[in-house]
Amino acid sequence: MHLTLDTEFATLKQVLVHRPGREIDRLTPYNKHLLLFEDVPYLEEMQREHDVFTQLIREKCGAEVYYFDQLLEDILEDNEVRSNLIREALAVSRLGHLSDELLGVLTQEQCVQALIAGIKVHEVRGRMSAAALSDLLDLAFLIPPCPNLYFQRDTAAILPGGMIFSSMRLDQRQRESNMVRQIFENHPLFKDKIHQIYPRTTHNNTPSIEGGDVIILSNKAVAIGCSERTDEKAVYHVAKNLIADGLIERVYEIHLPKKRNFMHLDTVFTILDKNRVLTYPDALQAVQHISVYTRKEENSEQVNIKRKVLKKNLREVLRMEIPYLEIIGTDKVSQEYALREQWFDGANVFTTGPGQVISYNRNKHTNKALKDYGVEVLEMPSSELSRGLGGPRCMSMPIAREAVV
C-alpha cells in the first residue's frame, strides 16, 4: 500500500515533526536574514513550546509522532546515504571535495547534527588536515545550518495519489526537502510505500513547489497555491501526474499575491472538518484568479489535461467542492487584531481530527471565533515558535489519518 491521504481533517494517526535544536542557536542578528529568519529566537523556550505541541498530539489525538532527527539517524547507518548527504551539504559551500575527510572524523550521531545544525571550521580544526582548512575562517560554516527545518510541512506533501517532494524556491532550503526525501526513500518504515508524484525527473531546474501550498479538498480534488514559493509550471506537472494516475479528477491552481504574508495557500485557509473552513477574510479576497485542471477527453492512450480559468472566487470554488460549507473567519475582529493574527498565521491551525485543531495561544481572537462555531481548540504556547512566521500546520507533516466514513 502506498502512503496516501484523502483528507485534511480525519483523525490523525501519524505525523512527522522536527523539534528545534542547535540549528536555532546558530542564528545571530548578522546572519538571520541569510538563513531566512526574521528574528533570533530563544531555543530553550522554543523546545518547551514544541514539546507542548507534540504532547497535545499524543494525548488529545492518540497519534504517533515521528521525529525527523531520529529517522535521519536511522538512515545514516547506510554508508552510501551518509556519504551522499554529507557531500551534498558540503557542496552548498563549494566544499564537496572535503566529504571523505569530514566523514572520517564524524560519528554517525555527529553527522546527524552536522546535517541539521551545520558545522563550523573551528569545530573540526585539529581533526581534519591543516591543508584542507587553511584558507577557511574559524567561524565559517563548512555545512550551513537548517533553522527552518521545524516547518516540516514545507518539505513534502502526501496526497490521495501519493507523495510530492518539494522543490524549494530558495536554494538555502533545498537540503531540508532532500533529507526528508532520503528518509522516505530509505527508512524501513516508508521505503516500500512511496509513489512519487513530483518531481519525476532529476534535472536541476525543477519548477518549485512547497508543501504549504498543497491542500486536499476531497479524495477527488486538490488545491495548490501559485504563490511566491510555488511556480505555475510545477502546478501543471503535479496536476498532469495526479490526473494521469487516475485518483484525482480536479486540481485547482489558486494564484496568491507574491507577498510574505501570503507565502503559502495554508496561510489563506485551512480545512477543519467535512464542511467547515477557517479563513482570514482579507487573504481570501486577495486571491487573484483560479484555474482548474481536468482530464481532456481523448481516445489516445496518453493522458492529456486541460486548464480552464474560472470566473469564480475562492469562496465559490470551496462551496463547489465542500458540501454545506461553513466559512469561519475573523470578520468580526477589529482590523488591527486581524492583521496581527494573520502575521502570526492565525489561519494556519493544525487540524488533528474533525472539528479539533491545535492553534497558537497568541491568536486569541481567531481562537474565540473557532470556539464560537463549536471547534475544539487546543491552544499551545507560541512566543518563540511564532518568530519563524509559521503556524502549527506548518510544523507538521501528516503521514496517516483514519479513513473517512
Catalytic residues: 394
Buried b / exposed e along 68-106 (16+ C-beta atoms within 10 A) = bbebbbbbbeeeebbeebbbbbbebeebeebbeebbeeb
Contact 279, 329 (CB under 8 A): yes
Cβ contacts of 10 within 8 Å, gap of 6 or more? 353, 354, 401, 402, 403, 404
Contact 115, 89 (CB under 8 A): yes
| Bond into 381 cis (ω within 30) | no
Contact 369, 329 (CB under 8 A): yes
Helix axes 364-372, 335-343, angle to 10 degrees: 100
For the beta sheet containing 397-401, the strands, ordered from the edge strand earlier in sequence to the opposite edge, are 64-67, 12-17, 397-401
What are the cell numbers at 18?
A: 522536527
What are the cell numbers at 310?
A: 474560472
CB-side neighbour CA atoms (13 Å) of 380: 29
Contact 27, 147 (CB under 8 A): yes
